[in-house]
Amino acid sequence: MLIRRAVLIDGTRTDIRVGDTIIEVCDGLRPRPGEAEFDAAGGTVLPGLHDHHIHLRAAAAALHSVRVGPENVRGKDGLADVLTRATPDDEGWIRAVGYHDSVAGPLDRHVLDEIAAGTPVRVQHRSGVQWTLNTAGLRRIGSSGHPDGILRSDDPSWALPHSDPDLDGLGLLLARYGVTDVTDATPDLGAGDITDLHERLPQTVRSLAPGKRILHDDDLDLDALTRWIRHTHSVGVPVALHCVTAAQLVVGLAAFGAAGRHPLDRIEHAAVVPDGSIGDLAASGIAVVTQPNFVAERGDQYLVDVPAAEHHELWRLAALLRAGVPVALSTDAPFGDADPWAAMRAAVHRRTRSGDVLGPDERIGAATALALFLSRKPGAPVAVAQGGAGNLVVLETPPDEALADLDAGAVTATVIGGEVVYQR
């Protein structure tokens, strides 16, 4: 297809001929017989956005789940109202996501039984590491080994019933945001799951499985982690370590140092990076894939829970980039909002929902924030150029307005492999 009257992010006016790859980038291109045309009308054309850390099946399921985070619900009565009014899914479950103890305190089976006793209910913590079920839910899955109803996601002794998530709906939502490439960060995806994602989503799908590992502070074993990294590398698989605390980051870096590294190794999240760890992280050469959107989404709770002297260590960006750490951005949907433009705005402004600025020295410029969503691998942003992938996003605004607003509402078309998969 031929995209006419495009403007690149550097202000260059051009036409773009694109198929599976970008064929020509030149002003004044003439349409070929039968060639589809799209008039960008002076709007910005970018490489398609890449969400470098997303949980696709969970994000698709969350489209039809009840949201019970602090931004949605307040207090036990509010939680009860939301859950009792919810419509069960096709399997008879009420599925709720995004819970935090600040809503109505710690959840267990007994609390949920008081709220909704008859219908199977499962509530996922916003961290993604645990579900809480009521008694009806525990009976449904046949679990007698969890009397409190709290099920850790890494506990192999139980399994929630699989549902068929709305992958078509998720693919359309991501296309509306201009997302053409995704990396699924779910650690236990099998080959069949990955094939299903490839077939059902228009986006180009990559997966971190089987090299993804989630670290927990209560079982950090440096020797065991080192052995696992060394073995994973020995079969040619890069490692992605989920590190959300300072202790996890320190142990993870030490394990990489002892085991050696693969060029595509990554640290996921790096939610807390103490000052003393920046040099070690830079020296390791390991990339960081992080989510500044949590500053906007959860920042007010961080202001309560995290000592003021440590606020600057949360979801760092500017310090990592200055140190030469390869960085890419992502949303961590469904645990974060799937809108990458909101994540960019958070990286630039670092404002919480109440308007406070969290870690002002970690702010970055709009062009940098955008570039961190344009890489195919962390630290290597791409541009619209001949030979590049035929995945593009067309904005209705010129570059200066696009960078000033960083607004998903400006996306007017998304092209994947030379085909328009979304047009407003």
| Digit-coded pLDDT (tens) for 18-63 | 999 999 999 999 999 999 999 999 999 999 999 999 999 999 999 9
User: HSE-up of 325 (CA within 13 Å, CB side)?
Assistant: 28
Tell the residue number behind the tokens 């007017």, with chain if given: 412
- Mean pLDDT: which of 71-75, 126-130, 272-276 is highest? 272-276
| Least confident piece of the model among 124-138, 247-261, 266-280 | 124-138
Same domain for 189 and 112, yes or no, is no
**What per-residue confidence (pLDDT) applies to 198?**
96
Specify whether the CB–CB gap between 254 and 280 falls below 8 A: no
- Structural domain contains residue 145: yes
pLDDT of residue 143: 79
1: in domain: no
String of DSSP letters for 211-279: SEEE--GGG--HHHHHHHHHHHHHTT---EEEE-SHHHHHHHHHHHHHH---TT-EEEE--B--HHHHH
Inter-CA distances, 424 with 51, 321, 339, 409, Å: 21, 35, 16, 10
Residue 348 has pLDDT above 80, yes or no: yes
Q: Which neighbouring-strand residues pair with 413?
A: 394, 423
**Which pLDDT does position 73 carry in this prediction?**
95
State how far the Cα of 424 lies from the Cα of 411, in Å rounded to an integer: 8
On whether the CB atoms of residues 8 and 14 are closer than 8 A, the answer is yes
Residue ending a domain, choose from 117, 152, 187? 152
Q: How far apart, in Å, are the Cα atoms of 332 and each of 28, 59, 182, 335?
A: 41, 9, 11, 6
Same domain for 225 and 114, yes or no, is: no
Do the strands 2-7 and 37-39 form a parallel or antiparallel pair, or are they unpaired?
A: parallel
Domain of 108 in residue numbering reads as: 64-152
Half-sphere exposure of 345 (CA within 13 A, CB side): 16
Strand partners, 241: 213, 267
Query: The CATH number of the domain where 278 resides is what?
Result: 3.20.20.140
In this prediction, residue 154 carries a pLDDT of: 77
117 and 208: one domain? no
* Number of domains forming the structure of the chain: 2
Q: In this structure, are 209 and 143 located in the same domain? A: no
199 and 273 belong to one structural domain: yes
Q: Is residue 351 part of a domain?
A: yes
Query: Hey, which residues does 46 pair with through a beta bridge?
Result: 393
DSSP string over 158-174: --PPP----HHHHHHHH
Q: What is the mean pLDDT of residues 349-372?
A: 98
- Please report whether residue 138 resides in a domain: yes
142 shares its domain with 216: no
Looking at residue 117, its pLDDT comes to 87
Residues 117 and 209 reside in one and the same domain: no
DSSP 365-404: -HHHHHHTTSBSSTT-B--S-TTSBS-EEEESS-HHHHHH
Query: Does residue 403 sit within a domain?
Result: no
Q: Where are the beta strands (DSSP E) in 176-221?
A: 179-184, 204-207, 212-214
In a domain, 226, yes or no: yes
Same domain, 276 and 174: yes
Residues 148 and 283 in one domain: no
Is residue 230 domain-resident? yes
**Is residue 191 a part of any domain in this protein?**
yes
Structure tokens at 60: 């698709």
What percentage of the chain carries pLDDT values higher than 90? Answer: 92
Same domain, 182 and 88: no
Work out the average pLDDT over 394-416: 98
DSSP string, 129-157: SEEEE-HHHHHHHT--S-TT-EEETT-TT
Asked if 79 and 180 sit in the same domain, the reply is no
Task: Report the half-sphere exposure of 279 (CA within 13 A, side-chain side).
Answer: 2
pLDDT band at 90 (very low <50, low <70, confident <90, very high): confident
pLDDT of residue 129: 87
Mean pLDDT confidence for 210-229: 96
Identify the band that residue 156 occupies on the pLDDT scale cut at 50, 70 and 90. Answer: confident
Asked if 147 and 235 sit in the same domain, the reply is: no
Compute the average pLDDT of residues 321-328.
98
Residues of the chain with pLDDT > 70, as a percent, come to: 100
Q: Which helix (H) or strand (E) holds 16?
A: strand 13-18
Domain boundary among 152, 179, 200: 152
Q: Is the pLDDT of residue 164 over 90?
A: no
pLDDT digits (tens, 9 = 90+) for 97-117: 999 999 999 999 999 999 988
8: three-class secondary structure by DSSP: coil
pLDDT higher for 295 or 143?
A: 295
The backbone torsions φ and ψ at residue 36, rounded to the nearest 5 degrees and listed phi first, read: -70, 145
**Residue 144 — pLDDT band, cuts 50, 70, 90?**
confident
Contact 242, 213 (CB under 8 A): yes
> 118 pLDDT band (50/70/90 cuts)?
confident
CATH number of the domain to which 134 belongs: 3.10.310.70
0.85 surpassed by pTM:
yes
